[in-house]
């Protein structure tokens, strides 16, 4: 077998997306619920469609319970096919907005810290 050379950009991109989604799954779910109420399956499908990452139900449902316990979402009965629909509460909307603002701020600081001196790459 020939050893691999170069960086697989597609895999690297997927790895970064997975890290972000796993680290900020609560924010991902809240931001999806800003758009409309959804059941857990719909949330999983939306994450997969939008971010090309398929979270497991074992990761999503406990997090939805935690968000509900904090008062950020509430459950409402759905139609016959959907047993539970998750709805964003006013507090959940406020938390979502603040988390997005904080993520932007921290991301900028993080990227600046990786750059070193202005105009330099991390290695140069």
Across the chain, which has 124 residues, the per-10-residue mean pLDDT values are 66 88 94 95 95 93 97 89 88 96 91 71 56
* pTM of the full structure: 0.81
Cα torsion 37, 72, 32, 13: sign: negative
Q: Domain 13-115, what architecture?
A: Orthogonal Bundle (1.10)
Residue written as token pair 């047993």: 83
Q: Where are the domains of the chain?
A: 13-115
In whole angstroms, what separates CA 116 from the centre of its chain? Answer: 28
């Amino acid at each position: 077998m020939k050893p691999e050379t170069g960086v697989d950009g597609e895999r690297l991109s997927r790895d970064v997306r997975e890290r972000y989604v796993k680290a900020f799954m609560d924010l991902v779910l809240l931001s999806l619920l800003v758009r409309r109420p959804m059941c857990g399956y719909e949330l999983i499908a939306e994450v997969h469609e939008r971010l090309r990452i398929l979270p497991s139900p074992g990761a999503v449902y406990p997090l939805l319970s935690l968000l509900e316990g904090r008062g950020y979402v509430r459950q409402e009965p759905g139609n016959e096919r959907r047993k539970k629909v998750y709805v964003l509460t006013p507090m959940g909307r406020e938390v979502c907005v603040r988390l997005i603002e904080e993520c932007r701020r921290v991301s900028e600081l993080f990227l600046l810290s990786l750059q070193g001196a202005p105009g330099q790459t991390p290695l140069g």
